[in-house]
Structures are given as C-alpha cells and as structure tokens.
Amino acid sequence: MNKKILVATTNKGKMAELTAMLDVDCQWLSLADFPDVEEVLEDGLTFAENAQKKALGYARATGCWTIADDSGLVVDALDGAPGIMSARFAGMPEKDMAPISLDDRNTARVLELMKNIPAENRTARFVCCLCLASPEKILLQTEGKLEGRITTEKKGRSGFGYDPIVFVPELNKTVAELTAAEKNAISHRGNAIRKLQPLLLDILDKPG
C-alpha cells in the first residue's frame, strides 16, 4: 500500500504517538515535509471545527489525505473554558515578564478561577477531536475524552499542559502522576486514535 497520509503537526512526539497507535500500512508525512505550506488558521468555535479546518486546509494545500486534531481542557464550572483557547488561556507573556512557562501560566489561571469552587463542582475533561480529510471532503472524524476533576494545587511531574491539575478518581492520581503507559491507555487523544484506527483501516481497504 503506497497511500500517503499527512499528520498535521511538526511535533515529533505527537507524530510518533499517533502513527504508532494507528499502525496502518501507509507512508506517513508531517508538516516538516512541507515547509512552504502556510499555517491553517484555527478560528473555529469548537474542537471539531478546528480539526476539520486543519485537515481540509492542509489536505488541499498538499494534495495528501490529512489527519488533524484539536484538543484541550473543558471545565464545567468555567462554562467550558479554557476549551478551544486551552493553549493560550493565560494569554501570551509580555517580553519583560519573568520567564514562566506558558503551561504554568495557564494552569495557574485555572486554579485561580477555581479557588472558591467546591469539590463537587470541580468536574472537567480533556477532549480531543481527530479528523481525516482528502482534498475534496471530510472522510472520518472521532472524539475522545478523559474525565477528571480540577485539583486545588499542581501535583505530579510527568506530562505537560494541564496534566498536573486534572485528577483521575479511578486511578487516584493526577494525569501528571501517571506513567506514559497509564496515560496512553486512558488519554483523550489515545481514545480518539483507537476509535479512528479501525475506520481508517476500513477506508484504506476499499478500492478506488
């Protein structure tokens, strides 16, 4: 099988994780293989819209089937925020600010907004939408979630982003306290990939 599929990322870790879990016989490409392609603007109102825009946009720009994802943290007590703004929830730091990472700024803002919220109302979830598109249309779309609760302080050193403040009751740990294997087994992205895998195999097996 000589099908080429572009994964719309330059992140080597995400690329390796997704292609390993999908485990299909094709030629995998990343955005690093298309350095002259313009970035697709993520201005959708939902994770699904952003994943669709990226998948279609890069598929049309490259001529390749493209898989794109959009993901983030949804906190019920914050009316769904950070949501699609998860990566930039605290805004971009000013040049003269202390060198605090964007992840630390984002988690700090969530904890500050949640400081007076009682335990029973601290429900939240990670959401990932995956989309596969050809240059002509959306071919497949899946969604994965990881339910949890917002902690009152950061805990754990693994992972990234909001992982240290999302507690998983079933495992009695934050996501940042999980091993890589534990996280992959339950993560929102892992769940979305596992749903996509049989659908992708099926569509690749069809003639034409």
Which residues are known catalytic residues?
A: 70
Burial of 84 (0-12, 13-18, 19+ CB in 10 A): buried
* Angle subtended by helix axes 188-205 and 12-22, to nearest 10: 50
Round to whole Å and give the CA distance between 58 and 105.
Answer: 30
Residue 122 structure tokens = 């601290």
Q: Which helix (H) or strand (E) holds 205?
A: helix 188-205
* The total number of residues written for the chain in this structure: 208
Round to whole Å and give the CA distance between 130 and 88.
Answer: 20
Q: Which helix (H) or strand (E) holds 106?
A: helix 102-113
